[in-house]
Amino acid sequence: MTRLREAVNVVLATLREIFDESAYRRFLERKQMGSSREAYAEFLQEHELLRARRPRCC
Amino acid sequence: MPKPLRIVMWMGIALLGALAVATIALRRGEQINAMWLVVAAFCSFALGYRFYSKFISAKVLALDVQRATPAERLENGRDFVPTNKWVVFGHHFAAIAGPGPLVGPVLAAQFGYLPGTLWVLAGAVFGGCVQDFVILLFSIRRDGKSMTEMAREEIGRVGGFVAYVAVISIIIILLGATALIVVNALKSSPWGAFTIAMTIPIALIMGLYLRRLRPGKVLETSVLGFALVMLAIWGGQWASQTPSVAGVFTLTAPTLAILIIVYGFAASALPVWLLLAPRDYLSTFVKLGTIALLALGIVALRPTLHMPALTRFVDGTGPVFAGSIFPFTFITIACGAISGFHSLIASGTTPKLIRRESEARMVGYGAMLAEATVAIMATIAACVLQPGTYFAINSPAGVVGQAPEVAAATITGWGFPVTAPEMHSLAQAVGEQTLYNRTGGAPAFAVGMAHIFSNSLGGQAVMALWYHFAIMFEALFILTILDAGTRVGRFMVQDALGHVWKPMGRTSWYPSILATSALVCGAWGFFLWQGVKDPVGGINSLWPLFGISNQLLATVALCVATTIIIKMGKVRYVPVTLLPLGWLVSVTFTAAWQKIFNSNPRIGFLAHARNLASSTSTHEASRLILNDRLDAIVTGFLLVMVVLILLESVVECARVLSGRKQAGVKETPFVASRFATEEQG
């Protein structure tokens, strides 16, 4: 049961990383902010250049 | 597990793998079950990972758990973040898996299931996985530097320049070729065109929802987007059955091409959060789910392969693309076996996330094995079709004829029976007006996938829904690549032009954004337009061009890796990268030479131009001749670029080996990892 829970946690963590939710959480921690429209807009601005330069493979 | 038991287990896996490979390689004249391919892949990949990647880790790269990675040393919570190895694996796999491993094996299935399968098994274990692994590790040891930077530092200035040119060329050709696949899948298909058109407002809604209503809730937004896409697929059926709506969405190939070019330009110029990012999230969500679903479907259904092991087209006369097994299998299947593009990902985001050096093995080598598994699934999806059906879908009208009866008669004459009524009822079953001349691989894959899914879930009644789900899945993939690729290309052009005139290098200056977006879209739009107007379908010239450029980029990556291994003083292990490099050089040079100079007009660009010049003098013919000559020039240019990097690499290695230059690599100095200490403690 513990192993199953661990596996589910890893899958969720992977999805959160792929879908940038973890990046947003780290941003909030770094800036010591709570989640809000303004905070997310600031995160998107910071993250935009990084994301736009990321190639997607064929 | 006790050692003797482990030995017995690995011997069992080796024997089972050998039996599976022997079965798929030696059976002739009888159909085999797809599970033989699955077992062969599982055993080969397990052995490759357990033994070959371990050998590379220990002997060639000497992975050091004590050495801090850039994710640890430069941790900043943004791009450098020490991350759980499974999370990095998933992240890396999501970045390297695109439509390539789905399309390439489907096209190569014209030779039969055997050549493509063997190439994926051997190419991945000895080529693609090795390339991804070593480039990832070398980037980790250089603070996450890109492949272009490593080429400049370790080989020389020419190497850096060639890597840059190779990257921008492959991006442009890739975008043109993949856009053509979407055009061929959606032309005269109101259902498909409606569904894909709807993904644009869906992505915009997702972008606004994320920004205004639920900031940061990307997974939730992706689930919502997925539900809307499913609704759009269902709505597509209504659209195709409502004459007034169907008329609007029944589009010709040239119209679709123009719309896609305009879309690419808009997506490149709009803010990332509005269209690119939500579409990327949606595409990734659908991609991961569909790949898992397809794997389950194959295992549950265990379908029979109707395609023979080898077809008569091994001689190079194939209708899907012209050219013999060597070298064309090896450039047609790139992403599933070895893909130069992966070296950009392996030296991009991934090295900045790896927590410990030892984890590079699982991420670099392991994720490529997962991608090769996707390629095997695509081979199965294509080969479960009756060969006559496969060729009817994938053969251009210029080869088999325009009328259904003529096309069916031509294909039956090749020894692959198919009738016009059969094709008509199949088209009706998947909700299309026709399935003839749908070159590019995507529709054939979608029919195969719909066949597998409908037999495991829902029955024939939902085959049309599964078909359009598969088309949506592939088109969504490709349009995401168009968004992201155009933008990456735009940044690269801006970086280069910034050296000439500073304002052009400013990525937020709108005149520069518009000018460089137009330049990049114009470049790939040229190849797309050329493919759309090609009477033999465009794929025959564009996909090999893409394959050649992709494999030439892999050649550049392996050149960098080989040079670094020699400079590390590990000459005796150099065959690990030198052998795949030698193979790729022989494949790409032969293919490029044949595409330029072969006397068969279906293969050689120049022969095709000569053929047209001697037979007709219309305006259309003049345009086709110009296209052929330009394709020949592009191929020749790429070839010259790679010769240059090979020569510079050979000179650099010779200087090191002869002692004229002191061996030394430009790695970041050793810093002890706190993660290793924590583990020991």
Domain tally, chain B: 1
Domain assignment present for residue B575? The answer is yes
> Are the Cβ atoms of A53 and B491 closer than 8 angstroms?
yes
> Are the Cβ atoms of B77 and A27 closer than 8 angstroms?
yes
> Are the Cβ atoms of B341 and A13 closer than 8 angstroms?
no
Range of the domain at A20: 2-52
- The H or E element that residue B490 is part of is helix B463-500
Which range has the top average pLDDT, A5-19, B16-30, B45-59, B396-410?
Answer: B45-59
For residue B680, what pLDDT is reported? Answer: 54
Number of CB pairs < 8 Å for A and B?
Answer: 132
**Is the pLDDT confidence value at B679 over 60?**
no
Domain assignment present for residue B244? The answer is no
* pLDDT tens digits, one per residue of B293-311: 889 999 999 999 999 999 9
> Are the Cβ atoms of B78 and A20 closer than 8 angstroms?
no
For residue B665, what pLDDT is reported? Answer: 85
Residues contacting B187, CB < 8 A, separation 6+: B251, B252, B253, B256
Above pLDDT 90, what percent of chain B?
A: 70
Give the gap in angstroms from C-alpha B338 to the nearest C-alpha of chain A: 12
Q: Quickly state the pLDDT bin for B580 (edges 50, 70, 90).
A: very high
> Are the Cβ atoms of B272 and A51 closer than 8 angstroms?
yes
Domain assignment present for residue B671? The answer is no
> Are the Cβ atoms of A57 and B89 closer than 8 angstroms?
no
* pLDDT tens digits, one per residue of B531-542: 998 877 788 888
- Residue-wise burial string across B32-56, b where 16 or more C-beta atoms lie within 10 A, e elsewhere: bebbbbbbbbbbbbbebbeebbeeb
Range of the domain at B587: 3-188+251-501+518-657
**Is the pLDDT confidence value at B456 over 90?**
no
- The three-class DSSP label of residue B674 is helix
Chain A residues with beta carbon closer than 8 angstroms to that of B349: 54
The partner residues of B514 in beta bridges, in order of sequence, read none
Helices vs strands, H then E, count in chain A:
3, 0
Domain assignment present for residue B217? The answer is no
For residue B289, what pLDDT is reported? Answer: 85
Domain assignment present for residue A11? The answer is yes
Residues contacting B246, CB < 8 A, separation 6+: B190, B239, B240
For residue B124, what pLDDT is reported? Answer: 98
Instruction: Kindly state the average pLDDT of the residues B549-566.
Output: 93
Chain B residues with beta carbon closer than 8 angstroms to that of A26: 77-78, 81
Instruction: Kindly state the average pLDDT of the residues B228-247.
Output: 93
- Backbone phi and psi for residue B598, each to the nearest 5 degrees, phi listed first: -60, 140
For residue A50, what pLDDT is reported? Answer: 74
Mean pLDDT estimate for chain B: 92
Q: Which of A36, A48, A56 is facing B273, going by the closest CB pair?
A: A48
**Is the pLDDT confidence value at B681 over 80?**
no
Amino acid at B220: E
**Is the pLDDT confidence value at B329 over 60?**
yes
Chain B residues with beta carbon closer than 8 angstroms to that of A46: 78
> Are the Cβ atoms of B215 and A29 closer than 8 angstroms?
no
B210 near A CB under 8 A: yes
* pLDDT tens digits, one per residue of B338-380: 999 899 899 988 999 999 999 999 999 999 999 999 999 999 9
Domain assignment present for residue B438? The answer is yes
Give the gap in angstroms from C-alpha A53 to the nearest C-alpha of chain B: 5
Q: Which residues of chain A have pLDDT under 70?
A: 52
Domain assignment present for residue A28? The answer is yes
Higher confidence at residue B522 or residue B171? B522
Q: Which two tokens stand for residue B509?
A: 């200056």
- Go through chain A and tell me how many residues it has: 58
* pLDDT tens digits, one per residue of B467-516: 999 998 888 888 888 888 888 888 889 988 998 999 888 877 889 989 99
Chain A residue with Cα closest to B547: A58
Instruction: Kindly state the average pLDDT of the residues B251-257.
Output: 95
Instruction: Kindly state the average pLDDT of the residues B582-607.
Output: 95
Contact in structure between B225 and B278 (CB atoms under 8 Å): yes
Domain assignment present for residue B23? The answer is yes
Domain tally, chain A: 1
Q: Quickly state the pLDDT bin for B52 (edges 50, 70, 90).
A: very high
Of B2-6, B368-372, B608-612, B677-681, give the lowest mean pLDDT range: B677-681
Domain assignment present for residue B222? The answer is no
Domain assignment present for residue B233? The answer is no
The pTM score is 0.92
Domain assignment present for residue A19? The answer is yes
For residue B272, what pLDDT is reported? Answer: 80
Q: Domain of B143: which CATH number?
A: 1.20.1740.10
Q: Which two tokens stand for residue B604?
A: 């050689």
Q: Which two tokens stand for residue A14?
A: 């992977």
Chain B residue with Cα closest to A30: B77
A9 near B CB under 8 A: no
* pLDDT tens digits, one per residue of B641-666: 889 989 999 999 999 999 998 888 88
Higher confidence at residue B436 or residue A47? B436
A58 near B CB under 8 A: yes
B364 near A CB under 8 A: no
Name residues 16-35 of chain A within 8 A of B (Cβ).
Answer: 16-21, 23-27, 29-30, 35
Q: Which of B95, B211, B487 is facing A52, going by the closest CB pair?
A: B487
